[in-house]
A and B are shown apart, each in its own frame.
Chain A
Amino acid sequence: MKSDENKIRTLSPGLALAFGGEPGDTNNFVDYVERNLRLYQIRNNTELLPAPASAFIRKELANSIRSRSPYAVNLLLGGYDKVHSEAHLYSIDLYGTKAILPYAAQGLGIYVALSTMDKYWYPEITREEAEELLRKCVAEVKLRLAYQFTFNAVVIDKDGVKDLPLL
């Protein structure tokens, strides 16, 4: 139906959420998370850091899966923790399984993207190399999958969330 839907939402100045799954559920759930994180910010006058934000999102999904109408949403949560000066990446699936990872992928291209990153990622990878690796993954997915769709990407650092041009 559409091959260029934006599936990344900026939640706060240091936090972005990429999502996939059942189309109606995804936007609804991400809206809910976004508004609740905003409510926390207004009430406490401080942003929720990536780690507690991931715990909140995980718990919402873990409760949802055992409810009458579960959300079918898979998420990648990226964030920069300004207090500890650390970057965080979480992969959270529809069951509420949270993985804390250096690199992650979800969706149709998971095998291709994970294999590419297994081969080229290393612990001391620089920002430029990491961006290049992301482009490599996208190129590999486009080459090897029958479905054609376009990608968009963001980079999160101490200055916030910015769009990353892929080509």
Chain B
Amino acid sequence: MNGGSVVAMIGKDCVAIASDLRLGSQAVGLASNFEKVFPVNDKLFIGLSGLATDTYTLRESLRFRVNMYRMKEEREITPETFTHLVSSTLYEKRFGPYFIEPVVAGLPDATPLNPNPKPFISTMDTIGCITTPKDFAVAGTATDKLYGVAEGLWEPDLEPEDLFETISQTILNAMDRDALSGWGAVVHVISKDKVVTRYLRGRMD
């Protein structure tokens, strides 16, 4: 109904997550500043594509739950745990779901039990069934187009700058074939010591 797409990709010791910026009401474009990717902590982001009202609602309820987790556990939530938190939040509304397909992307911190953590992405359906791909995850109105382009462009072990180029070209070209996505994009590349956020200009039609 509102349109929008999200994509996440794994690289070499880095992950990237991107969304378009369109907010529409059926065919009418309302805003070109509607980001669908939100930070959870320094190295963890979530993309919430789908019904825009639920994007807001779910962001706020997840913000509450993550803050409660942080206070109770006195540590940051890991991407894996956060994925299950999102999943159970969605399943709570099993018979009247949030119309959201979330995409989670994060770099887990090294721990004694897991000294060399791998970059992590996951995606869910509207009722919280988890998938954890090893390459890329897509969601939103341009899902099928994103799959096509990502399948063609992605390769294993991309460095942060190459990953940025790959994910940017993927979302820009998929958006151009989808009437309900577009109007610019935002890309976050998460690597070990920094997160780089860039805004892409896109076709405004």
Contact = CB atoms under 8 A, between A and B. Distances in A.
B197 interface: no
A134 B57 CA distance: 33
A96 B53 contact: yes
Interface string A80-118: 000000000001010111111100100000110010000
A99 B56 contact: no
Contacts of A101: 30-31
B96 A98 contact: no
Q: Range of interface residues on chain A?
A: 10 to 19
A48 interface: no
Interface in B2-61: 2, 23, 25, 28, 30-31, 33-34, 51-53, 56-57, 60
Q: Range of interface residues on chain B?
A: 10 to 19
Contact of B33 (A58, A100, A104, A111): A100
Q: Which DSSP category, helix, strand, loop or mixed, fits chain A's interface?
A: mixed
Contacts of B57: 59, 62, 96
B53 A65 contact: yes
Contacts of B2: 97
Contacts of A110: 28
B96 A97 contact: no
A96 B33 CA distance: 17
A91 B28 contact: no
Nearest to B60: A59
A119 interface: no
A127 interface: no
Contact of A91 (B30, B33, B56, B60): B30
Interface in A109-157: 110-111, 114
Contacts of B96: 66
A88 to B, nearest CB: 13
Nearest to B34: A99
Contact of B31 (A95, A100, A111): A100
A96 B2 CA distance: 12
Contact of B25 (A97, A98, A100): A97
B56 A98 contact: yes
A99 B53 contact: no
A104 B28 CA distance: 12
A65 B99 CA distance: 13
Contact of B28 (A96, A97, A114): A114
- For the complex of A and B, 9 pairs with smallest distance between CB atoms: A96-B53, A99-B31, A97-B52, A95-B53, A97-B53, A99-B30, A62-B53, A62-B57, A99-B23
23 contacts: A58-B53, A58-B56, A59-B60, A62-B56, A66-B96, A91-B31, A93-B25, A96-B57, A97-B2, A97-B52, A97-B53, A98-B53, A98-B56, A99-B23, A99-B31, A99-B34, A100-B31, A100-B33, A101-B30, A101-B31, A104-B30, A110-B28, A111-B28
Given A98-B53, A98-B56, A99-B34, 10 more contacts: A58-B53, A58-B56, A62-B53, A65-B53, A95-B51, A96-B56, A97-B52, A99-B23, A99-B31, A104-B30
